[in-house]
Structure 1
């Protein structure tokens, strides 16, 4: 996963669920803003007085199932007398950890009809790579330069177990943004905040500079956060972690119905932990 915050509202990019730009952890195998890190840095962040952000110690069922699957696979490899993994042709289908994003369908927003479309193999990669090389986006995502950097970042998610799904966002039928919808409770980010089962994270970048700083970021963040809550009944919270210095991005999240929960030290940045609660969605 790769860290970065871009603010769509201000023409800057936000990498961890941000507005007109991005906010994102990439795949679980690549380090990124939310990705693998040693844990919190020296001081503990202040979690504030919100009683909803209490530590949840129970491991998610999906996480336990993944551990069980790995253990089962290891035992099968040892018992077959060869110690080799199953060939791809007989590999077990992976579980869908995000409730089939491809089936979520379009949603009508204040700025048009919007739909999340999971990245389709290599056909979408050149467009994503071009967006990643926009200086405003590159400043936060860190995936500019060689086309392989952006492509490897996306392909690592496609090859993963489904805990992070890269998507193109189409507005009125035109691809105009890149999203990563991920299981925050199964992501290394969960080491840095009181995660709860089925917490779902968002990362966003808006591709064209002409689509930034005109309210699209806030409108789409609200729409996608609410779509996530509608399509994932087990999810009670949508999470984002823009860079605390990215004031326009944090402001856009607030405008999209997220609340500021805490400042969190991540491996590559100090982030503002933003939360959209199912219980508060009609109030914010």
Structure 2
């Protein structure tokens, strides 16, 4: 489970229990999609069935130029499998065609998410991951093989997490992971709801940090999620508690601090932006 951090991007234990009647009260029913994914993965790794009647069965690379943006529309119109988003093992689109979400207008310019292609984007992402400020929270410093392995875990997965470049007026300047928080290991640490959608973010350029841009883009991306995922009632993030600028950016973008939770790799601030309150904060 990658870190979340708006400024740079970012021992296991249970999340604090919420009081009875709180809107975050734990629902112990697992999402149907989660159960379907488990069944599909079990079937995919099952041994082949024996001969009929024998009694055995099977168990069921980028530059900082603007040419990247020119390719986004063509890729958005193409097949999701070739444009960075894959269907799940059950054939479901777990993130409602993220590749076709389109741009968002922000005070800083036009912003869009473009699913990552390792062959095009790997060098840029590796450079960002080796920035000392980024590496402190992402812990992915190293060669291109380190970044490639991190991307491969998502791109070869079932589609519950989609890595993206963030393009501002056509220029790649941030890295995002949009993921199904209710289908992620994170769901073991807080009272997840079906279709909870998570955000991980890093701002790539030093000049783009510390100027409020993270807050602007977090609001824009959470709006994109709520606009294009009608079943999602809230957007979730879990920045490291040590990263005060990140927590502040989420608060400025309309998120609330729901709880402090212990994750395997950090103590995190569980941040949520609720659909019901999206126009009030």
User: Quick check: TM above 0.5?
Assistant: yes
| The 10-residue stretch of structure 1 (71-80 or 253-262) with the greater mean CA deviation from structure 2 | 71-80
Q: Distance in 1 between matches of 2:96 and 2:264?
A: 29
Q: For 2:235, which of 234, 238, 241 is the aligned residue?
A: 238
Equivalent of residue 134 in structure 1, options 126, 131, 144: 131
CA contact (8 A) 1:48 1:262 kept: no
**Ranges in structure 1 where 5+ consecutive residues have no aligned partner:** 3-14, 24-36, 85-91
**Counterpart position of 1:60:** 31
Residues 66 and 283 (structure 1), Cα distance of their counterparts in 2 relative to 1, 3 Å cut = same
What's the counterpart of residue 182 of structure 2?
A: 185
Q: For residue 7 of structure 2, what is the aligned residue in structure 1?
A: 20
Q: Kindly indicate whether the alpha-carbon contact (under 8 Å) linking 2:197 and 2:236 is maintained by their aligned counterparts in 1.
A: yes
Determine the C-alpha separation between the residues in 2 that align with 1:79 and 1:103.
Answer: 43
TM-score w.r.t. length of structure 1: 0.81
2:144 maps to which of 129, 147, 158: 147
CA offset at residue 116 of structure 1?
0.3
The residue that corresponds to 2:215 in the other structure is 218
Please report how far the alpha carbon of residue 130 of structure 1 lies from its aligned counterpart in structure 2 after TM superposition.
0.5
Moved more, 66-75 or 156-165: 66-75
> TM-score under structure 2 normalisation?
0.82
8 A Cα contact 2:19 2:25, kept in partner: no
Q: Say whether the 8 Å CA contact 1:47–1:261 is kept in structure 2.
A: no
Query: Any idea what the Cα deviations from partners look like across 1:177-202, whole Å, max 9, x if unmatched?
Result: 00000110111011100011110000
- Aligned mates of 1:246, 1:141 — CA distance in 2: 12
The structure with the largest alpha-carbon Rg is: 2
* Root mean square deviation, CA, Å: 2.6
2:258/2:272 contact within 8 Å kept:
yes
Does 2:228 align with 1:257?
Answer: no
Q: Which moved more, 1:150-159 or 1:215-224?
A: 150-159
Partner residue, 1:88: none
- The aligned length equals 250
Deviations 1:206-254 (A, max 9, x none): 0000111111100000000111011001100100011112111111100
Once the two structures are superposed, residues 80-132 of structure 1 have per-residue CA deviations (whole angstroms, 9 ceiling, x without a partner) of: 79x99xxxxxxx78532111110001110111100000002421111111000
In 2, distance between residues paired with 1:48 and 1:220? 32
User: Which residues of 2 match residues 38-57 of structure 1 at below 5 A?
Assistant: 39-40=12-13, 45=16, 47=18, 51-57=22-28
SS for the counterpart of 1:260 is strand
SS in 2 for 1:123: helix
